[in-house]
Chains A and B, each alone.
Chain A
């Protein structure tokens, strides 16, 4: 066969009449038109702010004299050096909260997907119901629930649970508020639905006949779960943990309202650098460092979970 005359893979469009061709061009453009609003949104509210933020992070100056780009990368190092405890704390709290969400959310999602029957929709609504109230108000409610003389703390005290947690350094004496435990509880509570919903979606998609097949092959229920259900729910686990961990690591409302001075997370630092100290470069650098850390962790995590390392 003559190479130069080889027909292209797609049928040659040469003889096509002009009208359909136009139509096909238009058709080809459809996805781009559909993407346009999203892309514009991303450019205006993500790409441009990122450029601006990157620029701010390498500027020096003051509010009164203005800030100029001096490529002062030292800011990053200083920010990391001054505030690494808050970074470590953010990741630790967010990680713990994510784990707790998974432990609490998985059984619930499993129940909704396989056992809820006609209650399924009702339970799902109950999971989402807290969103009808503002995030702030829900967090403030915890201050009342966990109040020093309140029933929850009383019960925990009577059962000597607080002695244990206090020994572990999670609480302070006989109180829960203004301690790491309160912050982690707040984070867990606030982000739990973000864990449950993706878990539910991926569990619900599992074909029930797979369970039967596993049973037919003499798998115990535990083995079925370990070998069939859990691996198939991995997409839900991954997206659930990401949806929980990423926002939780940047959150500062829980740390501000339920925490104390030694439970401040990096979000608080960014807020205070930006609004209180008016040190915009440090605030921008801190945001970038947080983004980089989270991105790195997430990349490793997704890589791992793509293989069977996490299963």
Chain B
């Protein structure tokens, strides 16, 4: 390009330049000025926006969680739960216990099965809860560690014991005081979950798989072992197998356990870390042995007699899925009524008979026996003394520990 030299230009050139400055392409028209200033504003605004974004602290303090309770005027409640976690009638068109609740109390229940995974569900409700808004759900059901996190963040409402007479009286002792919610001020368990070892006897060639050590080391199971992508289950079961207590372990214990599982991953002993989808793999025999949730195993056994389960001598991990009322929910009293309803032994028995998970309600045995004698004696649904003695809970983690452990565990499972 030629340099700008006014002296050497002819009159015609100067005129042309002038013209192009006022009406040519390079003219400083209103539009180009707007465009330029728009870009400038975008750039400045972009940088400003970048630094202004930030994410405010998620923690909300005490009373802010409560909201106006519209329960008396609006006889309804919205209940989010996991799939296959509610009794369904033979024709799969109605949910008997829920309908009986509506009949008795006049409270209609909008029941949604929109929880499929704890971490995903947290991702889903986080934006509203962090902003102090109603999630549109009055009752949610999440696993211990997420319940603990929600309580820690102040994202749930304190329950009123006055509305929970049955729940207060009938809650099984083993569920009464978890370290993350002493005395159950915020939560009540929906079900207890036992993490056990399950195996497909056809795929193992009739061999029994009865310890985590065997899962990690037995060469005949190579490439056919499944662990769970829930950190507390996989790490907890391996901690127990190493003789450590998942209720009080140290950072070093955790690291040693991760290293132990990593060895099996490197040797290709472990095929996959799975969520709920281990059930089909186990049933097909692609997984010969895996860590599994007892309720699933009972359901699987009904279809496939090759599926067996073992409570390892070293013990097993118990956890629970808990009902909580999210902050700003509009129908807290209605939600409490529903929690209390499911703590009446006949209702609890009806539910337990259908979903086959550990029932957290005392005095349910007789009711369950009325429905099905074999279920009342199934220790996976109603654990006996010997079984309860082997059960261990994973201790609650501080937010810092949680992040550090999840990060290490994520590396272990490949992401």
The number of chain A residues touching the other chain, given as a range, is 35 or more
The proximity string for A residues 162-182 relative to B, scoring 1 for CB distances below 8 Å and 0 otherwise, is 000000000011010110000
Report the Cα distance A3→B16, complex, angstroms: 7
Collect the chain B residues with CB atoms within 8 Å of residue A177's CB.
286
The proximity string for B residues 48-67 relative to A, scoring 1 for CB distances below 8 Å and 0 otherwise, is 01111111111100000000
A212 within 8 A of partner (CB): no
Q: Contact at A143–B280, with CB atoms within 8 Å?
A: yes
| A148/B123 contact (C-beta < 8 A), A55-B51, A56-B55, A69-B51 known | no
Which of A56, A68, A175, A263 contacts B414, CB < 8 Å?
A263
B260-318 with Cβ < 8 A to chain A: 265, 268, 270-273, 277, 280-281, 284-286
Collect the chain B residues with CB atoms within 8 Å of residue A262's CB.
265, 414
Which of A52, A64, A173 contacts B58, CB < 8 Å?
A64
Report the Cα distance A62→B57, complex, angstroms: 8
Report the Cα distance A144→B15, complex, angstroms: 78
Q: Contact at B406–A276, with CB atoms within 8 Å?
A: yes
B28 within 8 A of partner (CB): no
Which of B53, B406, B410 contacts A69, CB < 8 Å?
B53
| A66/B50 contact (C-beta < 8 A), A276-B119, A277-B403 known | no
24 contacts between A and B (CB under 8 A): A3-B12, A3-B16, A4-B15, A51-B46, A52-B49, A54-B50, A55-B52, A62-B403, A63-B58, A65-B57, A66-B55, A69-B50, A143-B286, A147-B286, A149-B284, A172-B223, A178-B271, A257-B277, A260-B271, A260-B414, A262-B265, A262-B414, A275-B120, A275-B122
Report the Cα distance A268→B406, complex, angstroms: 14
| A273/B51 contact (C-beta < 8 A), A64-B59, A86-B415, A149-B285 known | no
B152 within 8 A of partner (CB): yes
Q: Contact at A264–B53, with CB atoms within 8 Å?
A: no
Nearest-neighbor residue (CB-CB) of B265 within chain A: A261
Collect the chain B residues with CB atoms within 8 Å of residue A121's CB.
none
A280 within 8 A of partner (CB): yes
Q: Contact at A59–B54, with CB atoms within 8 Å?
A: yes
A247-289 with Cβ < 8 A to chain B: 257, 259-264, 268-269, 271-280
Collect the chain A residues with CB atoms within 8 Å of residue B123's CB.
274-275
Collect the chain A residues with CB atoms within 8 Å of residue B16's CB.
3
Nearest-neighbor residue (CB-CB) of A61 within chain B: B55
| A59/B55 contact (C-beta < 8 A), A64-B153, A172-B268, A263-B414 known | yes
Collect the chain B residues with CB atoms within 8 Å of residue A65's CB.
57, 59
Q: Contact at B286–A280, with CB atoms within 8 Å?
A: no
Beyond A69-B52, A143-B280, A276-B409, 14 extra complex contacts between A and B, CB < 8 Å: A3-B11, A52-B53, A62-B399, A64-B59, A66-B58, A147-B285, A148-B286, A261-B272, A263-B414, A264-B415, A269-B410, A275-B119, A275-B120, A276-B406
Collect the chain B residues with CB atoms within 8 Å of residue A260's CB.
268, 271-272, 414
The proximity string for B residues 149-178 relative to A, scoring 1 for CB distances below 8 Å and 0 otherwise, is 000110000000000000000000000000
Collect the chain B residues with CB atoms within 8 Å of residue A280's CB.
55
Report the Cα distance A260→B266, complex, angstroms: 11
Nearest-neighbor residue (CB-CB) of B121 within chain A: A275
Q: Contact at A178–B55, with CB atoms within 8 Å?
A: no
Report the Cα distance A277→B23, complex, angstroms: 58
A91–chain B nearest beta-carbon distance, Å: 16
Report the Cα distance A273→B413, complex, angstroms: 12
The proximity string for A residues 109-145 relative to B, scoring 1 for CB distances below 8 Å and 0 otherwise, is 0000000000000000000000000000000000110
Collect the chain A residues with CB atoms within 8 Å of residue B270's CB.
261
Collect the chain A residues with CB atoms within 8 Å of residue B406's CB.
276-278
Nearest-neighbor residue (CB-CB) of A85 within chain B: B414
B interface residues, tally (CB under 8 Å): 51
Number of inter-chain CB pairs below 8 Å: 127
Nearest-neighbor residue (CB-CB) of A69 within chain B: B51
Q: Contact at A55–B414, with CB atoms within 8 Å?
A: no
Nearest-neighbor residue (CB-CB) of A68 within chain B: B54
A67 within 8 A of partner (CB): yes
Which of B49, B59, B222 contacts A55, CB < 8 Å?
B49
Which of A147, A272, A273, A275 contacts B284, CB < 8 Å?
A147
Collect the chain A residues with CB atoms within 8 Å of residue B372's CB.
none
Collect the chain B residues with CB atoms within 8 Å of residue A257's CB.
277
Report the Cα distance A263→B271, complex, angstroms: 11
Which of B273, B277, B285, B399 contacts A261, CB < 8 Å?
B273
B: which residues have CB within 8 A of A?
A: 11-12, 15-16, 19, 23, 46, 49-59, 119-120, 122-123, 152-153, 222-224, 265, 268, 270-273, 277, 280-281, 284-286, 399-400, 403, 406-407, 409-415
Nearest-neighbor residue (CB-CB) of B286 within chain A: A148
A28–chain B nearest beta-carbon distance, Å: 11
Residue in A62, A274, A275, A276 with the greatest tally of chain B CB atoms within 10 Å: A276
B43–chain A nearest beta-carbon distance, Å: 11
Report the Cα distance A276→B407, complex, angstroms: 8
A12-52 with Cβ < 8 A to chain B: 51-52
B42–chain A nearest beta-carbon distance, Å: 9
Residue in A62, A261, A273, A278 with the greatest tally of chain B CB atoms within 10 Å: A261
Which of A4, A66, A261, A278 contacts B413, CB < 8 Å?
A261
Collect the chain B residues with CB atoms within 8 Å of residue A59's CB.
53-55
Report the Cα distance A58→B407, complex, angstroms: 19
Report the Cα distance A6→B15, complex, angstroms: 11
Report the Cα distance A168→B57, complex, angstroms: 50
| A67/B55 contact (C-beta < 8 A), A51-B46, A260-B272, A264-B415 known | yes
A163-212 with Cβ < 8 A to chain B: 172-173, 175, 177-178
Report the Cα distance A175→B46, complex, angstroms: 51
Report the Cα distance A294→B286, complex, angstroms: 35
Report the Cα distance A8→B15, complex, angstroms: 14
B343–chain A nearest beta-carbon distance, Å: 32
B281–chain A nearest beta-carbon distance, Å: 8
Residue in B46, B50, B285 with the greatest tally of chain A CB atoms within 10 Å: B50
A20–chain B nearest beta-carbon distance, Å: 21
Report the Cα distance A272→B414, complex, angstroms: 10
Q: Contact at B268–A279, with CB atoms within 8 Å?
A: no
Report the Cα distance A260→B269, complex, angstroms: 11
Collect the chain B residues with CB atoms within 8 Å of residue A64's CB.
57-59, 152-153, 399
| A55/B50 contact (C-beta < 8 A), A3-B12, A86-B415 known | yes
Q: Contact at A178–B223, with CB atoms within 8 Å?
A: yes
